[in-house]
Chains A and B, each alone.
Chain A
Amino acid sequence: MNLVHFFRGRTAPEDRFTDLVRPHLRSMYRTAYRWTQDSAEAEDLVQDVLARLFPRLEELAAVEKPGPWLARVLYRRYVDLYRRRVNSPIDDAVRWDSDDDFFRECMPDERDEFQRWELQRALNRALADLEEGWRDVVLLHDVEGYTALEVAEILQLNVGTVKSRLHRARKKLKTALQPGAIERNCAC
């Protein structure tokens, strides 16, 4: 190994960590937002995960597919910080609520676009009515685009369970998009 190689091959851990996580930050943020339905909380969640990951730099560096691995770490932390509170008998302040404020902010003017926006808002609201296990699968697979295998890995489920939850969840969401259901659910 010559000096130049030694020079370039060994960077500071902070820089290595940044290089490893940076390409995944937006995806982590988006996934965190899907779960928290709040952009500030999504940022906090990602930051918290990064702070916990830095000491595990070598483990992270050895991961073959960092994207799903980071999503799994994010999910576990989300469960720790949010879902346990939701399920706590003494703290019912946190529940999965559709981020309607965001939908209101980006309401389009065009009629076709408006119809799509209305359907998506209805869909986002309908996600709140899904069992959380089903919602997790839909958010990761249909919204964030992870494969069924990756979702299984992230949520520590078997692929069969992921597929059957997806199937049931889509069926329920489809019902929520029926014309009568939208009017009922989206009354402002």
Chain B
Amino acid sequence: MWTDPLLQGLFWSAATIGFYAAARQLFRRLPRWWASPLLVTPLLLLVLALCLHERYSGYIQCTHWLILMLGPATVAFAVPIYEQRAVIRRQWPVLLVGVFAGSVIAMGTAWILADALGLSASMRMSLLPRSVSTPFAMTVSGDLGGSPELTAMFVVLTGLIGASLGQGLLQFLPLRTAVARGALFGMGAHGVGVATANRIGREEGSIAGLVMILAGLGNVLAAPALAYLLRRYA
């Protein structure tokens, strides 16, 4: 329907940013997980795209630059890491153990559950890195032979589901330390979880942020080795 690619690019970029700004306002008034901008914005865009008969390839060409902004956002994490250096120095062995355990459980359960539910191999590979935040997960997924785009969507779903389930889980688990409560959200629900953890407490929030970054780094560094092992033995 668009004759001018520049006009098309402007239209979809403006629609994405505009819907996001509106959804953020809504979330400020109504802070529930189902009103998260990450759920509302894509839903609005989907309706618009279906009405205009737009395909994913057309849409993503116009808005790929937004995904690229995850690069500078990753660089930005240097600031909170630097600010939390005292916590890191004190708790690094515990955080490393937690991130390692969480990553093994995440990949193991994704593999077993995908197998049990009869999902295709590429779906399974795309599910594996869903517990780390998107820029990391998309890299890992590409390495493993999954689809980075599908992974990005699974990551987003994991964040939403994890953040809403996490608060319920806190009431069942006998967690006595703030570090454990923070790790739960950082490992299980990355970005969305960090926002939730910040609402519970300052220490929980900063630990969640740290665990999220460590998990992403650890998984990216481990991915080439894991890809090699999977090709060899699976």
Q: Do A and B bind each other?
A: no
Q: Which residues of A contact B (CB under 8 A)?
A: none
